[in-house]
Structure 1
């Protein structure tokens, strides 16, 4: 199974725990699904947005190059730097992402045209939504460059997982060890759930061993 497939089989909590065990940042706080509710996993195609004033003329509309470069097993990741007064993503872009088979979109800030994104079946994670256009307000500084998403540095090609609990990023050069730890954590928690369903007491299932689980993973 590919790294993206293995990642998609996990949830963000197990991956976040694995990142914790390795003392790596990765959880992008404050982002949630605003269109679609499915789990998405893939590799980041990055975009960095800036204020239009003083930025000079834009050669193209924001995010278009990233959409054209996207496809299966990719997620478009837009650094909108927490802006909530203007959208950093819209409906025509959503149509393009779906046409190219992108797994979804993550925007660190506001988006718009969510009715269209939902109609197209595109999964979008963002901080909020607004109807205000980016035109004349926000432009693309660059794409396929390192960006910061909710305090997490993301390189082009890094791995992304998003679900009902939030969004996590995994550095591409650490994906194998993060996946290995996350899969062990998920397997242990599956066994714990089975014990709970069998009627074992919570105090026994979630003993002191559970509290030190990440420390043990880090020392393996």
Structure 2
């Protein structure tokens, strides 16, 4: 099956995964959050292929701009608009562990917002949706220290965070819509973990690849990571060649044409077998 045939299938399949998922070896299993969901989640396991460690390692050397260009070439939007780094100079690469919040029901007792974090596997990037709220936080100093002590790679929030001075001093990768000091206690509560999230029209599935840096956050569908990384690598190589050419006196137009800036992921065979000098 060609990549062109696979992309529509991937787009069709992603919205179907609408339960709560947790890692169980090579399976993700639907689970509920005890005491927090009024209805039990489905319990329908589906086969899950983890992202290869070699792909994760390679992403440590790729920026979000290149990955975004690679996703564009496949017709996929992966950038999360408005979510920016709160700790300059940090980046993270890891597997999405998703968290969904909801407003507190005033008729219920105390509700905290951090009761999920003991479940998060090492190597994860926590992706939290607080529906973009700016009036209460879902991340602070205690969770930052826990994340660092347990191998969590970073946190992405559709909302705000607090204790930013501590987070900066810890050099922890935190990406959010802003900063605010007001607690989530009795304002927002955990609804579910390991469910698909939608942020500004972008779907994040549990198990997707998350890469975040100074330019923002990109989500790569887990079934497409190898191809996206291959194309992103070609994007960066092409840009290095263009920079080298213009530094040697070439016009930008000529350099872009020579090195196929419009489609840098094309193979050398598709270029007629010509080796482009590095």
For the criterion TM > 0.5, the same-fold answer is yes
**Match of residue 11 from structure 1:** 63
Taking the aligned partners of 1:184 and 1:55, their CA distance within structure 2 comes to 55
Task: Name the SS of the counterpart of 1:77 in structure 2.
Answer: strand
Task: Name the SS of the counterpart of 1:213 in structure 2.
Answer: coil
Taking the aligned partners of 2:183 and 2:118, their CA distance within structure 1 comes to 18
Q: Is the radius of gyration larger for structure 1 or structure 2?
A: 2
Say if 2:114 is the partner of 1:69: no
**Match of residue 183 from structure 1:** 233
State whether residues 12 and 162 of structure 1, in contact with CA within 8 Å, keep that contact through their aligned partners in structure 2: yes
Q: Within 5 Å, which residues of 2 pair with 1:32-181?
A: 32-53=84-105, 56=108, 61-71=112-122, 73-181=123-231
**Match of residue 254 from structure 2:** 204
State whether residues 47 and 63 of structure 1, in contact with CA within 8 Å, keep that contact through their aligned partners in structure 2: no
Cα offset for 1:206?
3.1
Higher RCO by CA contacts (8 Å cutoff, separation 6 or greater): 1
Task: Name the SS of the counterpart of 1:27 in structure 2.
Answer: coil
TM-score by length of 1: 0.89
TM-score by length of 2: 0.71
Taking the aligned partners of 1:56 and 1:8, their CA distance within structure 2 comes to 44
Q: Per-residue displacement from partner, 1:144-198 (whole Å, max 9, x unpaired)? A: 1211233211111100011111110001111111111111111111111111222
Taking the aligned partners of 1:55 and 1:195, their CA distance within structure 2 comes to 66
For the structure 1 residues 215 and 96, does the alpha-carbon distance in structure 2 shift closer, same or farther, using more than 3 Å as the test?
closer
Segments of 5+ residues of structure 2 without an aligned counterpart are 1-52, 271-278
Deviates more, 1:157-166 or 1:147-156: 147-156
Say if 2:238 is the partner of 1:192: no
How many residues are aligned here?
216
State whether residues 195 and 205 of structure 1, in contact with CA within 8 Å, keep that contact through their aligned partners in structure 2: yes
For the structure 1 residues 66 and 153, does the alpha-carbon distance in structure 2 shift closer, same or farther, using more than 3 Å as the test?
farther
Taking the aligned partners of 1:82 and 1:38, their CA distance within structure 2 comes to 22
State whether residues 46 and 146 of structure 1, in contact with CA within 8 Å, keep that contact through their aligned partners in structure 2: yes
Pairwise CA RMSD? 2.3
Taking the aligned partners of 1:98 and 1:198, their CA distance within structure 2 comes to 45
For the structure 1 residues 216 and 67, does the alpha-carbon distance in structure 2 shift closer, same or farther, using more than 3 Å as the test?
same
Which structure features the higher share of helix residues? 1
Deviates more, 1:112-121 or 1:164-173: 112-121
